[in-house]
Amino acid sequence: MAKLTPMIQQYIDIKEQYKDCLLLFRVGDFYEMFFEDAVIGAKALEIALTARDGDKNIPLAGVPYHSLDSYLGKLIKKGFKVAICEQVEDPKECKGIVKREVVRVITPGTVTDENLLESKDNNFICSISTYSNKYGLSLLDNSTGEFFFTEGKIDLNGIFSLLVKYNPAEIIVFDDNPFLEKLNLLNANISIYEIKKENLTQFNQLLSNVNNYPIALKAVELLLSYIMDTQKSQLKHINHIYFINSQEYMALDYSTIRNLEITTTIKDNKKEGSLLWVLDKTKSPMGGRKLKQWILNPLLQQDKINYRLDIVEKLYNNLYTTEKLSKLIDSIYDLERIGTKIVYNTVNPKDLVALKTSLSKLPLIKDSLLQLDHPSLNDLANKIVLLDDLVDIIDKGIVDNPPTHVKEGGIIKKGFNEELDKLKYTAENGRKWLGEYEHKLKSETGIKTLKIGYNKVFGYYIEVTRTNTHLVPESFQRKQTLANAERYFTAELKEYEELILGAADKIIQLEYNLFCDIRQAALDKINEIQKNSEIIAELDCYCTFAIIASENNYTKPIVDTSDEIIIKAGRHPVIEQMIAKENFISNDTLMDCRENRMLIITGPNMAGKSTYMRQVALITLMAQIGSFVPAKSAKIGIVDRIFTRVGASDDLSSGQSTFMVEMNELANILKNATKKSLIILDEVGRGTSTFDGMSIAQGAVEYILNPDILGAKTLFATHYHQLTSLEEKYSGIKNYSIAVKEENDQITFLHSIIPGGSDKSYGIQVAKLAGVPSQVIRRAKEILHQLENGYDSNNQVATTKDEDLFSHAFEDYLVIIEELKDLDLNNITPIEAMMFLSSIKKKLERR
């Protein structure tokens, strides 16, 4: 390879410091990549891979500087870390090679440009640290400045539930973190980076409320260090770190978020069809992000829930003002993300105009809130900080429709700066003089095609076609020869060139300096901007709840600390939006921790058991986020957790079968539920044989039902009709079923929950409704008739009738279960254990 040029050597030196990044190296109007980066970047961006002039051994790929955002978005979405290397001095003023530095490293979790982000989704980056049996976890949305942390005993389900809830785009861990392998299995869309411990930069700000959590402190320091190293800037948009307190918010695990379709649907992982889809009618990006956080973090404290409900009620009863507020909020831009761009000096003139427009609406919002004369809304209004001075300086300084780029001029309004106005006058007069001078030269020379032009290389010139060069006067000096023309200049033109170009350069530089002054004025108010953003986001959620309650006929729930869930004419908030509302059948619910601890629900598939159970869970969740609910009335005793075991699916990525997934979820529920929890169980035990499944189902029922062990409110749907007999055996169980109309071997689902168990599954009728061929249906009826009358499918007398099967065999299994429960594992000897297992084996062989 030939000797490297100074620029390529500069590239290599900088790349050595950023080995794990694609380096975008500014060269004039392009960002260029060389060597292996060029090969990788060209493939990822689907752009041409070429070679550097004079050295075909150096691969080259580049993108125009003004198109950086679109190309950057593609790289970030593919999980790349990208280092932006800028020219940090003016090429015109430097001697030798232009100085270049990496000004920022952009990763999936550190993106701040709203063009690369979903407006209503946070973009969290997460860090995890561990020590002994404890973990610390921190989460930062670098685009908004929101920062959270927590600490606790190591519990993979709990950690993964947090990761599912906050959905980080990037996770960073120390390179010796024991979770690395498991984290890599969690989600292929999450970028996971390892940081060596010696790379940790000390960071002593904002940590006063973290110092009591030493493991979390390490995670926070790791994250702050990473952000400082990649963003190359002070973190003025981060002014508070919030503790995720398990005593304040309901913990929702992955299964519950998925099974209740809280933020996305199970089928296609889309927002449409989820609870968030129904509730999110927010008008601002900040409000959309806030609402999603509320939905995923239901409150546990009665006073905080009722604080929200009371505000929603006031807005609900004053819909004219609420609609007015909603329209004002609709005109407010993303203050959080604009604020972050101000901090990072990436804000552009259009952003500042958007900031001015947004801040100018605050007085109207404040007045509307005060007119409602409600204590909590008055408090919100009084927290709004009016920034009239900042609005004024932006309004007077920046044109109404400015360019995006800050170093091309056209930003500052006339009258804002006297020196700038003089320069613009000079430049405008210069351009006017050029037109007059061209007309004068045409008249003097008789060359009608003569024209004055300009380019960056040669400046201003007089162009004359080759056929007219004999008419050129001696005062013209040759500047450039073209194929069909000659270019000249004169002493007068040269004098005005210096005047015009000097003014133009000065205009661009002065406009940029004035823009920086305005940007600094905004930076000085960054805390106030963030506070206003927080208030607008909160108000947006309240207005949304009130408007949706009016549109969807929701009612204000009574929320207290009792153990009761009493719902009159409850409806599923999502399903009723998917069908004609008048066709949705509402149902009542009565649950408590006494005589109505467990509702066992039987009935055929497709009749509505799952819908009913989910609707009870969703109504409870909605009440605890401060929303009105789809019911005629509702009284909700606060629940600390909602657990669900719904549906069946293999977890192929971890090699788990349907039954193993089911049992893992059941084990998680039985281990973590409390008397204050709400449990939804749908078809527990169906992933294995009938005997095993029924045994597990009844064992789970008895465990949950027992107030000395758990005693939690539970909705239990099952096809094991034999379990309905437990109502007579245990207090606290109530049987319910789905009403079905049966006529001439045809069934109609009435979707009503009625007292009493069902003794039929209507499986063949459901198969018929689903379109199973009539030949199969006829044969199924024959086989069912034979089995019901004690014959097998070969028309032979069955050796064991159903009642024997489900009485003697099941009783034997229950005896074995009781023996296992009574076994003292701490005091049994190996010989005794062997003898015990041998006795159980003999009992099973007799069956």
CB atoms within 10 A of CB 249: 19
Mean pLDDT of the chain: 86
Q: Are residues 497 and 381 in the same domain?
A: no
Q: Are residues 513 and 573 in the same domain?
A: no
- What's the distance, CA 159 to chain centroid? 17
802 and 644 in contact (C-beta within 8 Å)?
no
Which of 376-385, 544-553, 827-836 is the least confident region? 827-836
Domain membership flag for residue 197 = yes
Mean pLDDT along residues 382-406: 96
Q: Are residues 364 and 457 in the same domain?
A: no
Which tens digits make up the pLDDT trace of 298-321? 999 999 999 999 999 999 999 999
42 annotated ligand binder: no
With 50 as the cut, is the pLDDT of residue 793 above it? Answer: no
Supply the pLDDT for residue 634. Answer: 98
Q: Are residues 217 and 188 in the same domain?
A: yes
Return the CATH number at 589.
3.40.50.300
Please list, residue by residue across 212-244, b when 16 or more beta carbons sit within 10 angstroms of its beta carbon and e when fewer do. Answer: ebebbbbbbbbbbbbbeebbeeebbbbeebeeb
Better-scored residue on pLDDT, 569 or 504:
569
427 annotated ligand binder: no
Domain membership flag for residue 55 = yes
Domain membership flag for residue 150 = yes
Return the CATH number at 366.
1.10.1420.10
Domain membership flag for residue 161 = yes
Pairing of strands 633-637, 565-570: antiparallel
Q: Is 571 helix (H, G, I), strand (E, B) or coil?
A: coil
How many domains does one find in the chain? 6
Q: What global pTM score does this model have? A: 0.83
- Name the nearest CA neighbour of 591 among 426, 716, 776, 446: 716
With 70 as the cut, is the pLDDT of residue 754 above it? Answer: yes
606 annotated ligand binder: yes
610 annotated ligand binder: yes
273 annotated ligand binder: no
Q: Are residues 605 and 717 in the same domain?
A: yes
603 annotated ligand binder: yes
* Domain boundary, last residue among 55, 71, 106: 106
657 annotated ligand binder: no
Q: Are residues 582 and 721 in the same domain?
A: yes
The span from the CA of 332 to the CA of 354, in Å, is 8
Domain membership flag for residue 673 = yes
Q: Are residues 588 and 717 in the same domain?
A: yes
Domain membership flag for residue 772 = no
The span from the CA of 79 to the CA of 169, in Å, is 9
Q: Are residues 580 and 726 in the same domain?
A: yes
> Domain range for residue 302?
280-387+527-552
* Domain boundary, last residue among 74, 106, 138: 106
Helix (H) / strand (E) element for 590: namely strand 587-591
Q: Are residues 649 and 736 in the same domain?
A: yes
Which tens digits make up the pLDDT trace of 652-682? 344 456 677 778 888 889 999 999 999 999 8
565 and 589 in contact (C-beta within 8 Å)?
yes
With 70 as the cut, is the pLDDT of residue 771 above it? Answer: no
Supply the pLDDT for residue 427. Answer: 83
Domain membership flag for residue 102 = yes
Supply the pLDDT for residue 812. Answer: 59
Return the CATH number at 74.
3.40.1170.10
Q: Are residues 456 and 577 in the same domain?
A: no
Q: Are residues 171 and 143 in the same domain?
A: yes
Q: Are residues 374 and 330 in the same domain?
A: yes
Domain membership flag for residue 620 = yes
* Domain boundary, last residue among 536, 552, 568: 552
The span from the CA of 422 to the CA of 507, in Å, is 10
695 annotated ligand binder: no
- What's the distance, CA 694 to chain centroid? 40
Return the CATH number at 151.
3.30.420.110
Q: What is the percentage of the chain residues whose pLDDT exceeds 90?
A: 58
